[in-house]
C-alpha cells in the first residue's frame, strides 16, 4: 500500500488503545480514536497532532450495532477509507462465579466479544471491496483461565476463536486477522484491579513481576509495538495467530 492507511482503534482514549493509536500514527496511518465518549478521545488526538500526525475523535459504544455502523461510516467519510481495525475496547467486572451477576456477565461479553464481532463486521465490507485489510484483536493471557474472571476469560478465549475464523473467511480478500494476548500491563484497568483487591499499585506490580520471566510488568507501548507490526505489511503472511505479549510464555 502506498497511499496513507486509515486505522480505527477502539478504546483508545487511554491505556493500551491510546499507545496503539499513537504508534500507528507514528507509522504514518491516519487514526480514528474511538471511545465511549468523544471528549475523552481528545487527549490521544492532541498527542497525535502534536507529533505531526492525523487523527480524529469518534464517540461510539462498541457493543451497540447502530453506533458501530455510524462510527465506521464517519471514519470512512472523514479520513477517506478504513484499512486497519484494532479491536481493543474493554471492561472488567471481576467476581467469583457464585457472586457474578448476569449483568456483569453480559456487560463483559457485549463489550469484548460482541464488540469485536460488530466492529469487524462493519469494516469488512470496505476491506473486502478494496482487497486489503488488517484486523488486530486484543485477547489476554486470561483466555487461559483466571480466578474471578469467568466472564472476561470466556470473552478473551472467544476472541481467539473469532480471530482464527475471520482469518479463514477473509484471507481470500487479502485481509489479515490476528490477535495479541497481553499479560499484566500497567493501565487504569490494572490499577482498578489493585484497588478492588486492596493492594497498592506498586505492590501489585511487584507481585506480578515476580511471576513474569522478564521480571517486569508490561507497558502500553509493549503491546502497541506488536499491534503495529501485525497491522503492517511486514506481517503480510501472518494470519489467524495469537501472539502472547506477556514477558514470557504466559503470565
Q: Which residue do the cell numbers 482498578 mark?
A: 192
Please select the residue that binds ligand NAD; options are 9, 33, 45, 89, rule is CB under 6 A. Answer: 89
CA-to-CA separations, 49 to 22, 67, 90, 183, 233, in angstroms, rounded: 10, 25, 25, 30, 24
CB-nearest residue to ligand NAD: 15
CB within 8 Å of 129: residues ≥ 6 apart: none
Q: Taking the complex as a whole, how short is the minimal distance between the CB of residue 235 and ligand NAD, in angstroms? A: 19
48 in contact with ligand NAD (CB under 6 A) = no
CA-to-CA separations, 133 to 86, 175, 178, 233, in angstroms, rounded: 11, 4, 11, 10
Please select the residue that binds ligand NAD; options are 36, 85, 166, 227, rule is CB under 6 A. Answer: 36
* Residues marked as catalytic: 152
Q: Taking the complex as a whole, how short is the minimal distance between the CB of residue 140 and ligand NAD, in angstroms? A: 4
Stretch that binds ligand NAD, among 7-15, 72-80, 171-179, 197-205 (CB under 6 A): 7-15
Distance between CA atoms of residues 158 and 87, nearest Å = 13
Is the CA virtual torsion 203, 19, 11, 214 positive or negative?
negative
Distance between CA atoms of residues 169 and 79, nearest Å = 27
DSSP code at position 92 = -
Stretch that binds ligand NAD, among 42-50, 60-68, 160-168, 225-233 (CB under 6 A): 60-68
Q: Can you give the C-alpha Rg of the chain in angstroms?
A: 17
Please select the residue that binds ligand NAD; options are 120, 140, 149, 239, rule is CB under 6 A. Answer: 140
Please select the residue that binds ligand NAD; options are 30, 44, 88, 239, rule is CB under 6 A. Answer: 88
Q: Taking the complex as a whole, how short is the minimal distance between the CB of residue 203 and ligand NAD, in angstroms? A: 16
Q: Closest CB to ligand NAD among 75 and 91?
A: 91
62 in contact with ligand NAD (CB under 6 A) = yes
Largest CA distance in the chain: 53
All 3 cell numbers of residue 245? 505479549
Stretch that binds ligand NAD, among 9-17, 46-54, 169-177, 228-236 (CB under 6 A): 9-17
Per CB under 6 A, residues contacting ligand NAD are 10-11, 13-17, 35-36, 60-63, 88-91, 111, 138, 140, 182, 184-185, 187-190
Amino acid at each position: 500500500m502506498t497511499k496513507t492507511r486509515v486505522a480505527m482503534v477502539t478504546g483508545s482514549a487511554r491505556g493500551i488503545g491510546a499507545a496503539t493509536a499513537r504508534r500507528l500514527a507514528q507509522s504514518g496511518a491516519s487514526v480514528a480514536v474511538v471511545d465511549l465518549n468523544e471528549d475523552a478521545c481528545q487527549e490521544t488526538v492532541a498527542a497525535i497532532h502534536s507529533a505531526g500526525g492525523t487523527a480524529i475523535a469518534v464517540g461510539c459504544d462498541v457493543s451497540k450495532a447502530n453506533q458501530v455502523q455510524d462510527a465506521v461510516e464517519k471514519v470512512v467519510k472523514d479520513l477517506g477509507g478504513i484499512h486497519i481495525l484494532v479491536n481493543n475496547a474493554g471492561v472488567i467486572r471481576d467476581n467469583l462465579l457464585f457472586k457474578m451477576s448476569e449483568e456483569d456477565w453480559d456487560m463483559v461479553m457485549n463489550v469484548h466479544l460482541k464488540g469485536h464481532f460488530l466492529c469487524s463486521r462493519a469494516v469488512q465490507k470496505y476491506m473486502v471491496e478494496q482487497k486489503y485489510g488488517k484486523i488486530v484483536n486484543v485477547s489476554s493471557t486470561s483466555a487461559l483461565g483466571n480466578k474471578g474472571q469467568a466472564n472476561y476469560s470466556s470473552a478473551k478465549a472467544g476472541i481467539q476463536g473469532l480471530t482464527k475464523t475471520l482469518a479463514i473467511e477473509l484471507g481470500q480478500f487479502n485481509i489479515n486477522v490476528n490477535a495479541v494476548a497481553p499479560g499484566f500491563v500497567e493501565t487504569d484497568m490494572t490499577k482498578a484491579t489493585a484497588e478492588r483487591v486492596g493492594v497498592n499499585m506498586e505492590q501489585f506490580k511487584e507481585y506480578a513481576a515476580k511471576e513474569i520471566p522478564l521480571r517486569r510488568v508490561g507497558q502500553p507501548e509493549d503491546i502497541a509495538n506488536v499491534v503495529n507490526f501485525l497491522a503492517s505489511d511486514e506481517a503480510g503472511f501472518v494470519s489467524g495467530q495469537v501472539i502472547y505479549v506477556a514477558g514470557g510464555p504466559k503470565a
